[in-house]
Structure 1
Amino acid sequence: MRVLVAEDHRILARTIATGLRRQAMAVDVAGSGDAAERMCLVTDYDVLILDRDLPVMTGDELCRRLRAADGAPPILMLTAAGEITERVYGLTALGADDYLSKPFDFAELVARVRALSRRTAKAPPALLRHQDIGLDRAKRRVTVEGRTLELTPKEFSVLELLMTARGAPVPHDELVRTVWDEHLDPRTSAVRATVSRLRGKLGGAARIAADNGQGYRLCD
């Protein structure tokens, strides 16, 4: 899942981004409304977390502009104003998909982001299976031959993407775009190292094949 956080408070933006990355989401950050608009034009985000009080272009104006265009991501609006009238205005007049008042509980933010992504995406079934590998997306649990595996968030997301592909190869760029984010140095071995650890936990190299050096797929 790829998320854009449009928030001009640097500490809060960094805190949100770090927390979401720990949940295996790829996160980009924009500090102004115009920057967020440009990023939405070139990247397909699964969710936009949008602060209302942005510089240059307000979150309200950005929300209106994105809603008037095609292909806008689901928008979770953040604001310090928690009155009911403000929430109704954000959801109706502005066209936001969800609304969260500051301060908020981070677990609730994560739950709302996941709910928004499920609402609009062509989500695979909650339970995925490939041979003797089972993946429960709701419980975020993976089993092999009935045995539960302990996976890191990145390992889980890589496996989820591979299982969703149903044996088709997943290009390296798609893994980076979906599981990591723009800050990943393409020269690093992060993807290869994660896949290597995942292979070991699944039972060996024969579980995941390299697709001519361009990506990976689950073996039959």
Structure 2
Amino acid sequence: MERSKIKWIKRIKRILILFLCLMLIPVLYLLISLICTAITVNKTPDESEKTATIYLSTNGVHLDVIFEKKTMDSTLLKGIPNLERTRYLSFGWGDESFYKDTPTWGDLTFQNAFSALFLQSTTLLHVTRYQQRQVSWVPVKASVSRIIQLQKYILQTFELDEYKEKQLLPGIGYTDTDDFFKAKGSYSCFKTCNSWVNMGFKDSGLRACYWTPFDFGLLNKYTRIREKEEKAGVD
């Protein structure tokens, strides 16, 4: 009887240790993510003239980067429909099923989150058209050369067909002002929609996080810059 109790105690201990180890994984992920988010790369101000402005926005889930249409390369604009009355275009990248099924946090399910973070999946580029600038957008001042690099990064994310054309997926936008296109890459807990934008900034020489899966990483950095400029009386 005593031996049986000892065996059960050992089994319970093993289960508890395994449970604690499993619980430790998301805690470590969160801790490392926050540390990497706090580390700023490309801190040195761009010596070239910052004559252009792009924007960052979030719906609480997906971080987007926004360009004024007149500053965009024609190759990036090609294949995007209904541009006649458009003044601004936003771009975001993410898991296909997550984009389709989780437009807001209220639509999040365990299955959607697990599939996006841990399973191999297809991805999409989300393109939204705007007629005017939104108050919630966070401005990012940059040189023209940096913005050109960022646009090239976005262009290279589109999955092109055999005719080198962007592949529009008709009828799955949230409204009549946005569209989805097939994209390259696979979404994971290490490459999220937000880290995609951050990587574009990082590769283009713009101020960015070392790595971040969160939308607030870049937003906070540029919000602080805007607040400093406002205090200094800079337009």
Larger Rg: 2
Q: Shared fold (TM-score greater than 0.5)?
A: no
TM-score (norm 1): 0.22
TM-score (norm 2): 0.21
